[in-house]
Structure 1
Amino acid sequence: MSTATISATPPPPSAGTSGRTGRLFALTGAIVGVIYGYDTGSISGALVFLSKDFHLTETEKGLVNSILVFGSIVGALIGGKLADALGRKAAMLIVAGSYAVFVALSAAAPNVVVLDAVRFLLGVAIGISIVAAPLYIAESTPARIRGASVAAYQVATVAGIVLTYFVNWGLSGGGHWRWMLGLSAIPAALVLIPLFRLPDTPRWYVLKGRTERAVEVMAMTDPDVDPRAEVAAVGAALAEESGGSARSLLRKPYARAAFFVIGLGFFCQITGINAVTYYSPQIFEEMGFTGNGQNFLLPSFVQLASLAATVLAILIIDRLGRRVVLLCGIGTMVVMLGVLTAVFGSGELHGTMTWVGFGAILLFTAAFNFGFGSLIWVYASEAFPAQLRSTGASVMLTADLVANLLIAQFFPSLMAWAGAARTFAALGVLALAALAFATVTAPETKGRQLEEIQGYWRNGGRWPVAGEPEPVGAAPLGKSAVPPTASS
């Protein structure tokens, strides 16, 4: 590092300041993740009781779930543009405030029409959050721990789902569905306090031409790099891209990346994880767990196992790599769906067979969170360069949510029409297709800088070899350049 560079770089923050900033990032990300998880799972218990209060049919039950997912699709579509235009931080503030307002209104809903309307708006907030939160974390985290940091958001999400099932069980005796839905308004309001104190991400500041601010924040968030050189590299990557529209994803060199993330997002949900999340009390009741609130309590243990699986994924994701974790998770899902097909097809839903079914649900859910659940956020944040990152995340998660919408709306009707055995068999076939897709397309990005990963997609889905000529239209990797906005 030259003397000129040192003198031009703002003084680094003290170790204490850096530590406090890092903890604040972790705290806000964790709280938003917990709230998202809670709001996703709270309807599973509440639906049992509000269905009786509002006299819902099977189709109307599906709509209560799917309307939130439909809102999430809208939110995901606008989330990227919102995060680019207003900033990752502003998007997070909008999310937290919306959570606080809409969960409180859903708890006070006088009828199913009002409930559906409010849940649609809550879904919009959720859609924005699942784009903005991983972006915010990924763009503020050193490369050596980025995988674990983004996956930690999934840990918080699973922790929120665990919490909601225990709350549902505790409140099930009195049928207090309004409390089940409304309790998360409190932490949603509280998380606004640390969010106001945090800066935006260095990459967003570069995107907006605020280079000096980007250098300051880079020094606060990543002690492993020269902040000015890293900001220059980010600016160079931005300058190479022609635009951040969805149309850009369909052109070389990122069409291959778009195909990968869209497919991964769709398979993540179409394999049925949210059938368990949304309808687990009904699934366990059909298995024969009916006494002493077992159908409410057992999902809590399922999600505890999922939490442990997610923590395990975080511990190994930056050591063993993304592909090993992803493929092991999906492979286990395939096996467990086969077991569930056999359990429901046996016609002996009692005794040992019932507990085998419970174990299969537990391992299926844990495997999802170990593989898909932990990796979808990582790949969404890593697959594209800075100027396309939020758009790419929006497209990926829109595919994810479209599949989620199909599961949320049609799973109850499919169970009633085709039976549980055929339903889980169909999910097993889809999981097998997901395993084949991931095996062929998923790259290993462990330890790579976000800008470096561009080279993989430029090179036709192969990591460039030293001495190889650059692909046509590609800029050399590893070269730093001051972006056009640096002098403005």
Structure 2
Amino acid sequence: MAPPTRPSTAPTPPAPSLRTGRMIALTGAVVGVVYGYDTGSISGALVFLSEDFGLSAGQAGFVNSILVLGNILGALIAGRLTDALGRKPTMVLVAAAYAVFSALSALSPTVLVLDVVRFLLGVTIGISIVAAPLFIAESTPARLRGAAVAGYQVACVAGITLTYFVNWGLSGGGHWRIMLGLAAIPSALVVVPLLRLPDSPRWYLLKGRTEDARRVMASTDPDVDPDAESAAIQRELRAERTGRGGSLGQMVRRPFLRATVFVLGMGFFCQITGINAVTYYSPQIFETLGFHGNGQNFLLPAVVELISLLATVAALFVVDRLGRRVVLLSGIGTMLVMLVVLTVLFGTRTLSGAGIWAGFAAIALFTAAFNFGFGSLIWVYASEAFPARLRSLGASVMLTANLVANFMVAQFFPSVLEGLGATWAFGGFAALVLVALVFMVRMAPETRGRQLEEIRAYWMNGGRWPDTLPDGTTEGGLAPGTGTALGPGVATSREHPPT
């Protein structure tokens, strides 16, 4: 008779679960809500703080645009910051800074203090729009990644929508300090769950902390073998260390020059096509259409953003089913149609009745289409376009291009609207959207279902997915759909549909 076996005293590894990945996506979404709220809150507050501080039109415009200048600086430093501190510590820093600067905005005694605080808040926002999608993308399983990162955009739109309804509710008393300060509450609360989360496995491997990376993958992703996945990421990191890995110089040389052109173009086109003209200056646009009265001007933007929120939620459900390109291109195409409609309507010069409401519907559908396509996918592509060593820097470059275009629209749209008229303003946006559509048809890859390391092979192969060998290896040494490196394969027989 065999002796009885003694129970093992070794610790049992945690069972793989999607729970932590979902928690990371949820906390990132809360940060997204705060970002959206802070971005949109000034649209209502500016009406009343201009009266309190006696601001000229130029000073009022600077209060709006200085946030974007801070965004640009934040996006420029975000890549290096997230690599140095870690994805999670950067998120904790962002949440704490949101709380502090939102509260200080509400307490500002002069417009100079308000400008300084809003610049610092802008820097925080710029860091967050790089760090949050990066943290989410690197910490969630491939099967959830598209929806999780797109969920960040849902949260951002929800924050803007909340802003407009809060502004409408507080507009009767002119409570601009409350409008600006409310974001401090959720910002402070989200710090606690952030502190309890691990950092991303890819950041741990970037810093040589292999056991930490394996531990996190073993507990969070039931779809991968932690040892094989760690080995794949480490191979990819070693490959990227030829020359100065993670540098701007590497981004503008082959094989990643094409990826850099893509992310710069997407970041720029995302904003230059006019979405923030509607976000920042919707009261003037609705007045040009024929809507009058402060109540309408506060309420109608809220309705537009509510519709956009529904469109963003729709993108959340289909981005991992239909694919990135279908969602992106259908959104851009709808934007083009709505801008043509607006150009024609404004060109008639005399709108009334059905024409006014047709214009409102076109603005609502334009905004919804942006959030369904560009708005949702920019976060996904920003986190997917580059290999691990270049990923945070690539996201930073994309978002910097995005914010430069944002600043141009914020600064010059009122002058174009007043000097050339709405017909030329929206006709110009339509022409830019057409250029953006052609660019995206040519450049945007389909990355649905692919591991982050696997996407590297697409750029290494000149913007085409490598063929595969019968044994499943690719030119980049990755098993399709798994991200697992299997050795130095060569191109073979199965080709991904051309993009």
Same fold (TM over 0.5): yes
- In structure 1, the partner of 2:454 is 452
Following TM superposition, by how much is the alpha carbon of 1:142 offset from its aligned partner in structure 2, in angstroms?
1.0
Match of 2:434 among 414, 432, 435: 432
Given candidates 287, 290, 301, the residue that maps to 2:289 is: 287
What amino acid does structure 2 have at the position aligned with 1:290?
A: H
Relative to structure 2, which stretch is displaced further, 26-35 or 161-170? Answer: 26-35
Asked if the contact 1:77–1:394 (Cα under 8 Å) also holds between the matched residues in 2, the reply is yes
Point out the more displaced range, 242-251 or 346-355.
Answer: 346-355
Deviation at 1:246, TM superposition (A): 1.5
In the alignment, the residues of structure 2 paired with residue 50 and residue 424 of structure 1 have an alpha-carbon distance, to the nearest angstrom, of 29
Residue 477 of structure 2 corresponds to 476
Amino acid at match of 2:419: W
Q: Contact conserved, 2:385 with 2:455, CA < 8 A, in 1?
A: yes
- The equivalent residue for 2:99 is 100
Q: Give, as a single letter, the amino acid of the residue that structure 2 aligns with 1:50.
A: L
Residue aligning to 1:262 = 264
Measured after TM superposition, the shift of residue 139 of structure 1 is: 0.4
Q: Is the 8 A contact 2:256 2:460 kept in 1?
A: yes
Match of 1:225 in 2: 224
Residue aligned with 1:225, SS: coil
> How far apart are the structure 1 equivalents of 2:288 and 2:56?
18
Give the alignment of 1:209-220 within 5 angstroms.
209-220=208-219
Counterpart in the other structure of 1:146: 145
Call closer, same or farther: CA 1:11–1:207 in 2, change over 3 Å: farther
Question: Does the 8 A contact of 2:18 with 2:220 survive in 1?
Answer: no
Query: Displacement of 1:331 after TM fit?
Result: 0.8
Secondary structure, counterpart of 2:466 in structure 1: coil
- Aligned partners of 2:359, 2:269: CA distance in 1, in Å? 23
Aligned to 1:197: 196
Q: Shift in Å at residue 421 of structure 1?
A: 1.6
Aligned partners of 2:11 and 2:405: how far apart in 1?
A: 47
How many residues end up aligned between the 2 structures?
468
Superposition deviation, residue 152 in structure 1: 0.5
2:54 equivalent in structure 1: 55
Contact 1:97–1:192, Cα closer than 8 Å, also in 2: yes
- In structure 2, how many angstroms separate the alpha carbons of the residues matched to 1:52 and 1:437? 44
Do the aligned residues in 2 keep the contact of 1:83 with 1:91 (CA within 8 Å)?
yes
1:274-324 deviation digits (Å, cap 9, x = unpaired): 111111122223322224601101111111111111111111111111111
Partner of 2:463: 461
Q: Secondary structure at the match of 1:139?
A: helix
Match of 2:134 in 1: 135
Q: Is the 8 A contact 1:58 1:413 kept in 2?
A: no
Distance 1:340 1:63 in 2: 28
1:16-27 to structure 2, matched below 5 A, reads 18=17, 20-27=19-26
Q: Equivalent residues in 2 for 1:29-68 (5 A)? A: 29-68=28-67
Q: Give matches, 1:345-424, under 5 Å.
A: 345-424=347-426
Task: Provide the C-alpha distance between the structure 2 equivalents of 1:199 and 1:173, rounded to a whole number of angstroms.
Answer: 45
Q: Which has the higher contact order (CA 8 A, sep 6+)?
A: 1
Q: CA deviation at 1:73?
A: 0.6
In structure 2, the CA distance between the partners of 1:10 and 1:396, relative to structure 1 (3 Å rule), is farther
CA distance in 2, matches of 1:54, 1:285: 25
Query: How many angstroms apart in 1 are the aligned matches of 2:166 and 2:50?
Result: 18
Match of 2:328 among 326, 329, 334: 326
Task: Return closer, same or farther for 1:262/1:292 CA change in 2, 3 Å cut-off.
Answer: closer
Residue 481 of structure 1, CA deviation: 8.1
Q: In structure 2, how many angstroms separate the alpha carbons of the residues matched to 1:110 and 1:476?
A: 60
1:335-386 deviations in Å (ceiling 9; x for gaps):
1111112222222233211111110110000000000001000000001000
Residues 61-108 of structure 1: per-residue CA shift (max 9 Å, x gap): 332221111101100010010000000011101110110111111112
Instruction: Assess if the C-alpha contact under 8 Å between 2:106 and 2:180 holds in 1.
Output: yes
For the residues of structure 2 that align with 1:125 and 1:413, how far apart are their CA atoms?
A: 29
SS at match of 2:452: coil
2:34 and 2:187 in contact (8 A); partners too: yes
* Structure-2 change in CA distance of 1:362 and 1:249 (3 Å): same
Counterpart-to-counterpart distance in 2, 1:342 and 1:256: 37
Q: Secondary structure at the match of 2:320?
A: helix
- CA distances 1:121-159 after superposition (whole Å, capped 9, x unpaired): 001000100110001000011112211110000001111
Preserved contact between residue 21 and residue 139 of structure 2 (Cα < 8 Å): no
1:280–1:299 Cα contact (<8 Å) kept: yes
Which blocks of at least 5 consecutive residues in structure 1 are unaligned?
1-6, 469-473, 483-488
C-alpha distance in 2 between matches for 1:282 and 1:220: 52
Indicate the residue corresponding to 1:185 in structure 2. 184
Conservation of the 8 A alpha-carbon contact between 1:44 and 1:281: no
Per-residue deviation, 1:20: 4.6
For residues 369-427 of structure 1, give each alpha carbon's deviation from its aligned partner in whole angstroms, at most 9, with x where no partner exists: 00000100000000100000000000000000000011111112221222222111111
- Whole-angstrom CA distance in 2 between matches of 1:313 and 1:225: 26
Find the aligned partners of 1:295 and 1:343 in 2 and give their Cα distance. 19
**Worse-superposed segment, 377-386 or 112-121:** 112-121
Cα distance in 2 between the residues matched to 1:10 and 1:255: 47
Displacement of 1:22 after TM fit? 3.5
Q: Deviation at 1:19?
A: 5.4
Pairwise CA RMSD of aligned residues? 1.9
Which one-letter code corresponds to 2:349 in the other structure? Answer: G
Decide whether aligned partners of structure 1 residues 161 and 343 sit closer, same or farther in structure 2, where only a CA change above 3 A counts.
same
**Corresponding position of 1:13:** 14
* Counterpart code for 2:124: A
2:237 alignment partner in structure 1: 238
Percent identity, aligned pairs only, is 69
SS in 1 for 2:389: helix
Higher helix share: 1
- Aligned pair partner of 2:318 in 316, 321, 333: 316
TM-score for both structures, normalised by structure 2: 0.91
The amino acid across from 2:166 in the alignment is: V
Q: CA deviation at 1:59?
A: 2.9
- SS of aligned partner of 2:222: coil
